[in-house]
A and B are shown apart, each in its own frame.
Chain A
Amino acid sequence: MAFFILKRLIQSIFVMIAVAFLAFSLFRFVGDPVSQMTGVETSAEDSARLREELGLNDAFIVQFGRFTRNMLQGDFGYSYRTRQPVADMIASRIPATLELGTVALLISLLVGIPTGIFTALRPRGFVTQSILLTTLVGVSIPTFVIGIMLIFLFGVQLGWLPTFGRGGTVQIGGWTSSLFTFDGWRALILPALTLGVYQLTLTMRLVRAEMMEVLRSDFIRFATARGIPYRSLYFRHALANTMVPVITIIGLQFGGVIAFSIVTESVFQWPGMGLLFLESIRFVDIPVMGVYLVVIAFFFVLVNMIVDLLYVAIDPRLRVREDG
């Protein structure tokens, strides 16, 4: 077990080094950092001095080492566009994205898993067929269109909910939260629904597929023959065996939520990391792009580690194999 954790930890560190390398290459080779930082009237000598000060004349590996060390110490450099430290810019945007993503993920799981089980148990019913058709349409509608539709219905036509921004926020430590004001919750509903709907259809379809697969297997057939009550059969024996793939998808969905939050944040002008990333692409603000990548990769790696540990906790077979 300890060996397994250690192995995963080392793998994760390698992934992070690879991503840091990518971010560094972006900074170093996409456009010239010096010409980005200086204006037209900067003299050649000043440029050369800046180049020397930034250490851009050092060997590649030395530069990369310095870049990594700075990052580990929380120094992420400065934005080309706003001249502010990138670390502050990103940090101020993280709470908005994480709150939006978490609520969206919760919607996806709390609705997706029960409907997935239901549609697997009644595969030919009318309700199931209509749900499946709805999800097929749901998968085909792009996230931004869902957002527009929700804005149109609840924001413009009915006028019930705000259509942009975070509403009222509360400062808790360094964390700006909109989860503690009524206004904030109202502003959160539409973006979270937009972000959650697509993930919801994925969750549902996956749970359904897994559940149907398990229900076909021999041990369920034997359990049925033994006369085990259906309730226990479905919710204890069958459901337990679908948990591993479901947890995998939750891990993967986290990535989806982060990625599509770019779109959702753009539709709702939600002041999160995604909006910042979009702006940085538009203005070719390479340092912000690179740091966004590193931060996202860090979240990915963290979630994947947790998912792997959960596997071992859930599936006893993995424990035996790793110890043996």
Chain B
Amino acid sequence: MLARLFKSEPVYLFFRSPAAMLAAIVAILVLGGAIFAPLLASTDPYDLSSFSLMDGLLPPLWEGGNPRFLLGTDDQGRDMISAILYGARLSLTIGLMAMAVASVLGVGLGLAAGYFGGRFDAIVMRIADIQLALPAILTALLIDGISRGVLPPAIHQDLRVAVLTLAIALSLWVNFARTARASVFVERNKDYVQAAMIMGQHPVRVMLRHILPNIMGPLLVIMTVDLASAILLEATLSFLGIGLPADSPSLGTLIRIGMQFLLSGEWWILWVPTLFLVALVVSINVLGDFLRDVFNPRLR
């Protein structure tokens, strides 16, 4: 099984593309840092007792800082490395969950729309068209705004992460639905699908067992690209002060906090999380581009 994987074309191409390999290394490092943040971080940014105001505003080590804080500290004395690791943890959690919700919702609706066609297809695609005309960030802002009005403030505070995830997911599902539907239209008339249908298999089984595995390629590309979009959306919303509050900082919130130090010379508070976010998103996008080229032989 493993040997077959290593002889497969994507893997072969992967090891011939320095950009893709570099991007994968960066992405894996960030992911690892996020997963093992509690072990790696010297302080817990959520735990007020683990850091002290006395350590506030220390510059990074090479500018004469304290060896305990390699990349310096913020005004509260939080270690910047700990802050970005925990921030990445939160950003990646929201990004991955939003992507998962969006892909299940989008692929499900797209499969069904392509398979059944007719009125169901028309309704789903109309909704998709309208949403496609509205940029994702507007949709997400709107959903967040509505949730503020509907939920009482106390509950809303507790559900911040869930609301944010849902808002992002609901603004990204369209890509999945359209791709899945278009692929189903191609696959539906092929012999293997026709055979499965004639055998009298249940539509759900035909869709999930037969069609879905054969359209995974393009979906995988969208998943990668949308993961990057989801992370960017979360960062943007948090930066605007609409997403997560300052006491549970994601990367976007950290950048918003850092903005206050733009003029005062403590550059690391702003640029450390910013560069970290950009590196993460760039590497995910490079991987997405690589996958797109792999699954589109004409461009090779």
Partners in one complex: yes
Residues of A within 8 A of B (CB): 15, 18, 26, 30-31, 136-137, 139-145, 148, 151-152, 156, 252, 255-256, 258-260, 262-263, 266, 277-278, 280-282, 284, 286, 289, 293, 296, 300, 304
- A-side binding surface: helix, strand, loop or mixed? helix
Partner of A278, one of B150, B240, B284, B289: B240
Selected from B130, B235, B289, the residue in CB contact (under 8 A) with A142 is B235
Q: Looking across the interface, which residue of chain A has its beta carbon closest to that of B263?
A: A156
Binding-face segment, B30-38, B141-149, B211-219: B141-149
Cβ of B270: which chain A residues have Cβ within 8 Å of it?
148
Decide yes or no whether B294 CB sits under 8 A from chain A.
Answer: no
User: Is A30 a contact of B146 with CB atoms below 8 Å?
Assistant: yes
Distance between A66 CB and nearest chain B CB, rounded to angstroms: 21
State the CA gap A30–B284 with chains docked (Å).
38
Return chain A residues, CB-CB under 8 Å to B141.
Answer: 262, 277-278, 281
Given contacts A148-B259, A282-B242, A293-B142, contact A140 B278 (CB under 8 A): yes
Residues of A within 8 A of B240 (CB): 144, 262-263, 266, 278
- Nearest A residue to B267 by beta-carbon distance? A152
Known interface pairs A255-B134, A300-B133; A145-B228 also in contact (CB < 8 Å): no
Chain B residue numbers with a CB within 8 Å of A293 are 142
Q: Is B285 an interface residue (CB 8 A)?
A: yes
Q: What are the interface flags for B149-193 relative to A under an 8 Å C-beta threshold, 1 for contact and 0 otherwise?
A: 110000000000000000000000000000000000000000000
Q: Write the nearest CB–CB distance from A143 to chain B, whole angstroms.
A: 7
Q: Which residues of A contact B122 (CB under 8 A)?
A: none
A140-B138 Cα distance, complex, nearest whole Å: 19
B148 touches A281 (CB 8 A): yes
For A26, list chain B residues within 8 Å (CB).
Answer: 146, 149
Q: Which of B81-105 contact A (CB under 8 A)?
A: none
Count chain A CB atoms within 10 A of each CB in B133, B149, B235 and give the residue with the most. B149
Say whether B255 faces chain A, with CB atoms less than 8 Å apart.
yes
**A277 cross-chain contacts in B, Cβ below 8 A:** 141
B42 at the interface (CB under 8 A from A): no
25 A-B pairs with CB atoms under 8 Å apart are: A30-B150, A139-B285, A140-B228, A140-B232, A140-B284, A142-B236, A142-B278, A144-B236, A144-B240, A145-B255, A252-B133, A255-B133, A255-B135, A259-B135, A259-B137, A262-B137, A262-B138, A262-B141, A277-B141, A278-B240, A278-B242, A281-B242, A284-B149, A289-B142, A293-B142
Could you mark each residue 256-300 of chain B with 1 if its beta carbon is under 8 Å from any beta carbon of chain A, else 0?
A: 000100110000001000100110011011100100000000000
Question: Is B239 close to A, CB under 8 A?
Answer: yes
* Residues B149 and A31 in contact, CB atoms below 8 Å apart: yes
B286's nearest neighbour on chain A, judged by CB, is: A136
- Residue ID in chain B nearest A286 by CB atoms: B149
**Contacting pair A140 B236 (CB below 8 A):** no
Q: Is the CB of A256 within 8 A of B135?
A: yes
Within the complex, the shortest CB–CB distance from A131 to chain B, in Å, comes to 15
Distance between Cα atoms of A137 and B232 in the complex (Å): 13
Partner of B145, one of A259, A284, A304: A284
Q: How far is the CB of A123 from chain B (nearest CB, A)?
A: 10
> How far does the alpha carbon of A262 sit from the alpha carbon of B142 in the complex, in Å?
12
Tell me whether A289 and B145 are in contact (CB under 8 A): yes
User: Which chain B residue shows the least CB distance to A304?
Assistant: B133
In the complex formed, the residue of B with least CB distance to A132 is B289
Instruction: Give the residues in chain B near A281, CB-CB below 8 Å.
Output: 141, 144-145, 148, 242
B203 at the interface (CB under 8 A from A): no
> How far apart sit A234 and B274, CA to CA, in the bound complex (Å)?
41
User: With A and B bound together, what is the CA distance between A30 and B149 in angstroms?
Assistant: 5
- 13 further A-B pairs in the complex, CB-CB below 8 A; given A136-B286, A259-B135, A289-B142: A136-B285, A141-B281, A143-B236, A144-B236, A144-B240, A145-B278, A148-B270, A255-B134, A260-B137, A262-B137, A263-B239, A286-B149, A293-B142
Residue B245 is within 8 A (CB to CB) of chain A in the complex: no
Residues of B contacting A263 in the complex (Cβ-Cβ under 8 angstroms): 137, 236, 239-240
| Contact flag A137-B282 (CB < 8 Å), given A156-B263, A281-B144 | yes
Q: Is the CB of B135 within 8 A of A148?
A: no
Judge if B241 is at the interface, Cβ distance under 8 Å.
yes
Shortest B151–chain A CB gap in Å is 10
Docked-complex contact B262 and A156, CB < 8 angstroms:
yes
What A residues does B148 contact at CB under 8 A?
281, 284
Q: Is the CB of A140 within 8 A of B146?
A: no
Beyond A136-B282, A278-B240, A281-B242, whether A145 also contacts B289 by CB under 8 A is: no
Minimal Cβ-Cβ distance residue in A for B148: A284
Query: Which A residues are in CB contact (< 8 Å) with B144?
Result: 281
Q: Which residues of A contact B262 (CB under 8 A)?
A: 148, 151-152, 156
Min C-beta distance of A11 to chain B, whole Å: 11
The residue in chain A whose Cβ has the minimal distance to the Cβ of B231 is A142
